[in-house]
A and B are shown apart, each in its own frame.
Chain A
C-alpha cells in the first residue's frame, strides 16, 4: 500500500514537473520567441472575422485643433482584409468613403477606392497615397491600414518594461521599402495581452520622427483591444489623439458592404 502510494506520488511529481516544463517552454519562456513569432502572436489577437467601430480623432498642432469622426467596418477574407471608412466630420468631407482591400500576398497591389459625394463618383486610387497624411493628421494612410506580418522582416531586440508592462521590443524592417515612409519601426509588444504598446517610426534617413503610444486596453467580446492612441511627430509640435469607440466584433457584416460598386452616400 505504501509502495503504491509512493508510486502515485512520484507519478504526480513527474507529471507536475512535465507540466511546469511545458508551461515554461510556452507561456512563460519568452526567450524562445523569434521577432516574427511575437508579431504573429500580435496579429492573432484580433480573432474576430469582422467588426465595426466609431473613431474620433483630434489633431493638436500649435493653437489649431482639428476634429475628425468616422465609422470603420472591416472584415477578414481568405486572401485579404477589407476595410471601409466613412467620414462624418469635418462637414466638408461628410459621407466621403474609403474602401481598401489589403491582400495577404505582399506582392499583390492593394485595391483602393474613394467615393466623393461632391462629385457623385467612385474613383479608384493608387497605393502611392498610402504614404500621405491620413486626413491631415500625424498618422499616415499606411498607419491606419492593415499591415501583413510578411510586409516586414522582424528581429527581436530585447525585453523591456514600458509603463510597468513587460514588453518584447521588435525591429520591423519593410520588405518593400519603396512602398512605405519608414526605414524601420521599433515596436513594443506587451507580453501579457500581445498588443502593441508603442511604435517608434524611423524615416528613410534612419531618424526617429514619430512615436505612437497605445492605451485604453479593454477586452471587448473577449478580444483585447487598444481603444486609445497618441501619435506624436517629434520634430514639430504636433500630436494626434485617436479614440476608438462603440467597438463591436462579429457584427455579421455581409460581403457586399465591401464592394466598390456599393459605395454611395
Chain B
C-alpha cells in the first residue's frame, strides 16, 4: 500500500513535466532558417569603418558654378580596452567645384583629420582629450548654447535647419553627483570661425561687399588675428544636468570667443584699415526637454551679456546684451509621420533703447514609405523680420544596408543683405550617393 501511494505521488508530481531540463515544441527545431544569420562579430579591441560619398550640389541659377561636387572617403577607427578608448576619423576630399569658384586659393584636394580623441570611461567619472565635436542643447538644429565647436565654413549647411561644425582640440570630463551630472570642457586655445576665402559659395555677402570696397581702394582688410595663444586664449564651459519627473534639465555656462569677428576701422599713416577682431564673451543658459505621449517639448534660453556685435546701423563694433530663446514641439504620428516646429528669438540690447529682435521658426514635416526605406519631406528655417528663409525638400532612400541616396532641393529667399537671403545665389538641387562600410 505504502509503495503504491509513493508511486502515485511521484507519477502525479512529474505529470506536468514542469521541472524538465529540456522542452519540446520548438517551431524551429526542424528548420535551418536561422543558419542564414551571420555569426556574431568577434570581440575585438579595434573596429574599422567609414564611407565613400559622392555629393553633387548643382546651383539652380548658374549651373556652371556648382556649389559642390565632392567625393569624400571617410575612414574611421575605434579602439577600446577596458575603461580606455580612442575614436578617430579622417576625410580625404576631392572638391571638383573648387575649380569653378571665383577667387584664388580654393583647394580641390583636401585631407583632414576630423575627430581624434581618447576617452576614459568609468561608472561615475568620464574623461576625454582630443579633437572632437561636443554639442550642447536639446533643440533641433538651433542651440544658443552650442558654442564649443565653430562652424565648418567650407560646408556650413547640413540640412535646411541644421549646420555642420568643425571638431576642435579640447579636454574635459564629467562626474556623477547623485542625480546630477557635472560636465566641464576646456579648450586650451579658442576655436573660432575662419573667414571664408573670396569666391567661396558660402562667403557672407557683407564680406563680399567689404572685399569689393577693398579692391576699390577704400581701405585694406587686415588679416584676421585668430586667438592662438595656448592657455592665454583658452575657452571653457560647464554643464550641470539632471532628469526629474521626466524633464531633462540642464544649466550651463561658457566663456570664450565669439565665433565671428567684428570689424573696426582704424586710420593710420598708411591709410584706412579694416581690422577683424575676435572678442571674448560669456554665456549662461538653461535647457529642458520633456516627452509627452507622442509629443516632445524642448526649450533653451541663453543670456549673453555684452556680446560683441556689429551694429547694422553704424557698421561699428559694439557690445550688446543678447537674450536668445528656443521653444520647440515635435509630434510623432504612428512612427510614420513626423512634425517638428520650433520658435526662436534673438533679442539684442534686451531692455535698452536699442533693442533689436530677430525671430522666426524652424520646421520639419516628413513621412516614411516603402518599409521605411524612403523618407521624404520639407524642412527649413524662416525669419519673420525680413531676414529671409531657407527651404529644403528632401528624399532619402536606403538601398539595402550599405547604400543611401539623398536628394532634394534647397532654396534661400529674402533680401540680399539678410541673414539667409544673402545665399540666394546658392539655391541648389542635390544628389548624394553614399556607401557605408
A residues adjacent to B (C-beta < 8 A): 9, 12-13, 16, 19-20, 23-24, 27-28, 54, 56, 58, 61, 64, 66-67, 69, 88-92, 94-95, 108-112, 119-121, 123-133, 136, 140-141, 162-165, 179, 181, 190-193, 197-198, 213-217, 219, 224, 228, 230, 238, 241, 243, 245-246, 254, 256-257, 259-262, 264-265
In the bound complex, do residue A215 and residue B29 qualify as a contact, i.e. CB atoms below 8 Å apart?
yes
In the bound complex, do residue B5 and residue A94 qualify as a contact, i.e. CB atoms below 8 Å apart?
no
The answer to whether residues A13 and B176 also contact, given A88-B41, A127-B294, A165-B24 and a CB cut-off of 8 A, is: no
Q: Is the interface of A mostly helix, strand, loop or mixed?
A: mixed
Measured between C-beta atoms, what is the minimum distance from B375 to chain A in Å?
11
Pick the contact of A119: B12, B135, B176, B437 (CB < 8 A).
B135
In the bound complex, do residue B292 and residue A126 qualify as a contact, i.e. CB atoms below 8 Å apart?
yes
In the bound complex, do residue A136 and residue B372 qualify as a contact, i.e. CB atoms below 8 Å apart?
yes
Q: How far is the CA of A89 from the CA of B404 in the complex (A)?
A: 15
User: Which residues of the partner chain B approach A89 to less than 8 Å between Cβ atoms?
Assistant: 41, 401
Q: How far is the CA of A262 from the CA of B241 in the complex (A)?
A: 11
Annotate B80-100 by CB proximity to A: 1 below 8 A, 0 otherwise.
Answer: 000000010000000000000
In the bound complex, do residue A92 and residue B436 qualify as a contact, i.e. CB atoms below 8 Å apart?
yes
Measured between C-beta atoms, what is the minimum distance from A54 to chain B in Å?
6
A–B Cβ pairs within 8 angstroms, 21 of them: A16-B6, A58-B37, A90-B402, A90-B436, A91-B49, A111-B243, A120-B134, A124-B290, A126-B330, A127-B293, A128-B333, A129-B335, A140-B335, A192-B17, A192-B20, A219-B21, A243-B34, A246-B40, A257-B123, A259-B243, A261-B181
The answer to whether residues A260 and B243 also contact, given A58-B37, A94-B49 and a CB cut-off of 8 A, is: yes
In the bound complex, do residue B2 and residue A56 qualify as a contact, i.e. CB atoms below 8 Å apart?
no
In the bound complex, do residue A125 and residue B296 qualify as a contact, i.e. CB atoms below 8 Å apart?
yes
Q: How far is the CA of A191 from the CA of B20 in the complex (A)?
A: 12
Q: How far is the CA of A115 from the CA of B123 in the complex (A)?
A: 18
Q: How far is the CA of A138 from the CA of B294 in the complex (A)?
A: 21
Pick the contact of A215: B27, B140, B398 (CB < 8 A).
B27
Task: Confirm or deny: B230 has a beta carbon within 8 angstroms of a beta carbon on chain A.
Answer: no
In the bound complex, do residue B1 and residue A9 qualify as a contact, i.e. CB atoms below 8 Å apart?
yes
Annotate B363-407 by CB proximity to A: 1 below 8 A, 0 otherwise.
Answer: 000001001110000000000000000000000001011101000
Interface residues on B, range: 35 or more
User: Which residues of the partner chain A approach B404 to less than 8 Å between Cβ atoms?
Assistant: 92
In the bound complex, do residue A121 and residue B135 qualify as a contact, i.e. CB atoms below 8 Å apart?
yes
Closest to B28 in A: A215
Task: Confirm or deny: B281 has a beta carbon within 8 angstroms of a beta carbon on chain A.
Answer: no
In the bound complex, do residue B335 and residue A128 qualify as a contact, i.e. CB atoms below 8 Å apart?
yes
Pick the contact of A128: B28, B332, B436 (CB < 8 A).
B332
Q: A23-B13, A64-B400, A92-B404 are in contact. List 9 more A-B contacts (CB 8 A).
A: A16-B6, A27-B16, A92-B434, A124-B290, A163-B27, A191-B18, A192-B16, A215-B28, A260-B248
Q: How far is the CA of A82 from the CA of B334 in the complex (A)?
A: 23
B residues 7-52 touching A (CB-CB < 8 Å): 8-9, 12-13, 15-18, 20-21, 23-29, 33-34, 36-38, 40-41, 47, 49, 51
Task: Confirm or deny: B272 has a beta carbon within 8 angstroms of a beta carbon on chain A.
Answer: no
User: Which residues of the partner chain B approach A109 to less than 8 Å between Cβ atoms?
Assistant: 246, 291-293
Closest to A94 in B: B49
Annotate B398-429 by CB proximity to A: 1 below 8 A, 0 otherwise.
Answer: 10111010000000000000000000000000
User: Which residues of the partner chain B approach A224 to less than 8 Å between Cβ atoms?
Assistant: 23
User: Which residues of the partner chain A approach B331 to less than 8 Å between Cβ atoms?
Assistant: 126, 128
In the bound complex, do residue B181 and residue A128 qualify as a contact, i.e. CB atoms below 8 Å apart?
no
Task: Confirm or deny: B124 has a beta carbon within 8 angstroms of a beta carbon on chain A.
Answer: yes
In the bound complex, do residue B26 and residue A259 qualify as a contact, i.e. CB atoms below 8 Å apart?
no
Q: How far is the CA of A12 from the CA of B137 in the complex (A)?
A: 74
In the bound complex, do residue A132 and residue B36 qualify as a contact, i.e. CB atoms below 8 Å apart?
no
The answer to whether residues A238 and B371 also contact, given A92-B51, A132-B335, A192-B17 and a CB cut-off of 8 A, is: yes
Measured between C-beta atoms, what is the minimum distance from A28 to chain B in Å?
5
User: Which residues of the partner chain B approach A67 to less than 8 Å between Cβ atoms?
Assistant: 37-38, 401
User: Which residues of the partner chain B approach A230 to less than 8 Å between Cβ atoms?
Assistant: 27-28, 33
Q: How far is the CA of A19 from the CA of B13 in the complex (A)?
A: 10
In the bound complex, do residue B138 and residue A124 qualify as a contact, i.e. CB atoms below 8 Å apart?
yes
Q: How far is the CA of A260 from the CA of B249 in the complex (A)?
A: 12
Task: Confirm or deny: B213 has a beta carbon within 8 angstroms of a beta carbon on chain A.
Answer: no
Task: Confirm or deny: B336 has a beta carbon within 8 angstroms of a beta carbon on chain A.
Answer: yes
In the bound complex, do residue B26 and residue A163 qualify as a contact, i.e. CB atoms below 8 Å apart?
yes
Pick the contact of B9: A20, A108, A120, A257 (CB < 8 A).
A20
